[in-house]
Structure 1
Amino acid sequence: MSRIRVDEDILPLSEFRAGVATFVKQIHETRRPMVLTQRGRGVAVLVGVQEYERMQGRLELLEEIYKAEEQLANGEGISHEQAKSRVLGRLA
């Protein structure tokens, strides 16, 4: 994801409402997120669909890594040799 450009990518919600199509096009073309503000405070971040899906994929991978680390910390893991043996057994 590209970095937010403060001068272009942060705007009031009222301004966004007035030109939704233009801003959606901007998000698609620049591949940068857009921060919407209300009363001077950030209230939402808009990202393109592809970027959202990429972020979701990364989050799922991180969740799996954290789960695996927890399992290892609880002594639930298996050795490399055991894992290798299981995988090769299933492939045979």
Structure 2
Amino acid sequence: MSGIDLVSDIRPLSEFRANTAALIAQVRKTGRPLVLTQHGKSAVVLLDVRHYQSMLSAFEQTQGFQTSGGASAMSGGEQP
């Protein structure tokens, strides 16, 4: 996933409401997340579903690695 472009990837919620289809198309085309603001503060992040699934898979693999003691075993430490 590409980094956020601070000029084009941060938009107010009101603009998202007015241009939903175009902004969703932007997220799909660029692969970058879109940060939506509400009352001038970041509120939510819109991600392409493929990137979201990829992030979930990576997180689940990391969690499985940590709970299996893999990090400890690789460093030569003892497993509980």
Runs of 5+ in structure 2 lacking a partner? 73-77
Does residue 73 of structure 1 match 2:64? no
**Percent sequence identity over matched residues?**
38
| TM-score, normalising length: structure 2 | 0.86
In the alignment, the residues of structure 2 paired with residue 14 and residue 64 of structure 1 have an alpha-carbon distance, to the nearest angstrom, of: 40
1:32 is paired with a residue whose SS is: coil
Amino acid at match of 2:59: L
How far off is 1:55 after superposition? 0.5
How far off is 1:11 after superposition? 0.5
Please identify which structure carries the higher helix content.
Answer: 1
| TM-score, normalising length: structure 1 | 0.75
The alignment covers a number of residue pairs equal to 74
